Each structure stands twice: as C-alpha cells, then as structure tokens.
Chains A and B, each alone.
Chain A
C-alpha cells in the first residue's frame, strides 16, 4: 500500500526542536517506516521505534501482568533516555483507560519540561475506526497507509477523558480533521514541570 501524504498543521510545532536543528530524542510507537527514518536521518537524533500497535490487544490485567509491567517489557528504555518528541499517533484509540494511564506512567521518567507529543483522537466517541499507519514525510506532511486489517480494541476516549488520562500533557492545540478525527499537539503541563524541578 503506497503511502498517502497529508499536510498537518500541527506537525511543524511537534517538530520544532528538529526545525531548530537541535539534537532530538524521539519515541515513535508505530512501526518503523522508510519515510520516517529518512526524515530523521537528516538531523542528529535518536529514534526509538517501539511499534506498540503490534502488541494489541494487551493482556487484560486480570489475566496476566499489569499494564505497567507489559509496557515496561515493550519499552525497555535506558534510564537516561529523555524524549523530546513522542509520536503516539492513534494508539490511545485502542487502549483501555487503565492501559493508557500505565503507558504514561512508564513514560513519565523519560519526559522533560519541553517534551512535545502528537496524537490522534476522535471528536465523537462513535466515530468509525479509520486505522492508519502514520509516518513523517517532511516537517509539515504526514504519510498515511491503510492497515491490512483493523486493529483489535478500538474504543476511543472523548477528548476530555483523554486529557485526564494523559496527566503529564496538556493539549496545546487540536485540529478537527475529516471524519470527526482530531489531531492533537501535546505539551507538558505547567504543574508537572514545577513538580519536576
């Protein structure tokens, strides 16, 4: 499936550190894509590719290890790693609330005051699934590939609930896309910054 380009109003802000020429550390929770690797190859960076989508559905906590344990196994990050950019794509549409909270808890030590995030959500909870694989073509253009099959566990949260779950982040900007999908630019919450000082 050839990737389709989609201009993003928010991507330039997500990638501000890159545009400024800083060395960046990036978390991409999607599969490794040629265009994303090529984009970050042009700048000094460390790109962590985890493909958490391939781990869906997570094992329910009642039937196995806790979500935190599962994410710690899926994200074996060196203690010193601090992400400047977190590319969550539409992962939160597929995670139970407890799992999304657990992911943020696992990531918490690896975030810093200027970490920026990118995510997709939905405007209305009943929005049909439109599962895509996302990549970065350039500083203002994403790529979209259709998945060969739908992912299990599609249950998007309303934005208000997502804001509560993503406790470390504040939603700096949202863009309403076609099909009632939302694109989010995430920054760190002020109170979290102060707590970490």
Chain B
C-alpha cells in the first residue's frame, strides 16, 4: 500500500497487488496483479495491471488486461484499454475507452488506430426525403 502521506515520482512496478492512497506521478506497471486507487489516491501516471479499480483521481492512460472499474467516487481523465470496463453511477470520466469483450490477452498495449474506411465502399445514400413519424406518448 502507498499511504495517504506518500508521494512517489517515478516508476512503480512489482509482483503483488497495490493499493494507492497517496500520490503517484510517473508510471505504474503491475503486470498480472491488481491496482486499486483509493478515495484519497491521486495518480498522474499511466497504469498497467490485470485489474484496475479507481475510487480516487487518475490522469493518464489505464490498461487493464482483464478489466477496469471506475467507482462512483472515481475521476478519470485519459484513455482506457481493457476487455471490460465498468463505470459506476456518479463516476466522472473523460477520454476514450477501448473495449473488446472477446480479447482477454494480457498484451493489450495500445489502441491501434483504425484504418480509415474506404469511401468507395459506401452504401448508396439515396435521395429520399427525410421521413417524419409520429410517436405517441
């Protein structure tokens, strides 16, 4: 555990689960383990772990090879890459979430930019006028 009064600048890595209640700036890489950012935790770093749970503040990219959970008290600004992402009601998130429920590889590293779709393959748009439907109730 990184206690509330601890401030770390640099790289945090290891072979066990970690609870962060203090401040971390840099990078956090715990491989197949779990990182929890507690309510008093403030992280300005990229985080990589198997499971990432966020109850505090994170500014940075978060990669969870299994899942990422942002709790109701969590505030995240950055990009998330994980097969599954859960956001609790009240959580604040700004950024992008790259999800693939069928992809549980641990080597999910970066969001590969998607190739631009060929415009020539577009379906014909047609020239029909916009329809207006009445919805009751």
Contact = CB atoms under 8 A, between A and B. Distances in A.
A187 to B, nearest CB: 6
Interface string A38-54: 10111111111111000
Contacts, number: 123
A55 B103 CA distance: 35
Contacts of B5: none
Contacts of B119: 112-113, 193, 196-197
Q: Which of A38, A46, A114 has the most CB of B within 10 A?
A: A46
B6 interface: no
A172 B121 CA distance: 19
Tier of interface size on chain B: 35 or more
Tier of interface size on chain A: 35 or more
Interface in A105-125: 112-114
Contacts of B19: none
Given A41-B86, A170-B130, A173-B133, 20 more contacts: A23-B100, A31-B92, A34-B89, A38-B87, A43-B101, A44-B100, A44-B102, A44-B103, A45-B98, A46-B114, A48-B95, A49-B96, A80-B114, A82-B116, A113-B117, A113-B121, A172-B128, A173-B130, A176-B132, A193-B122
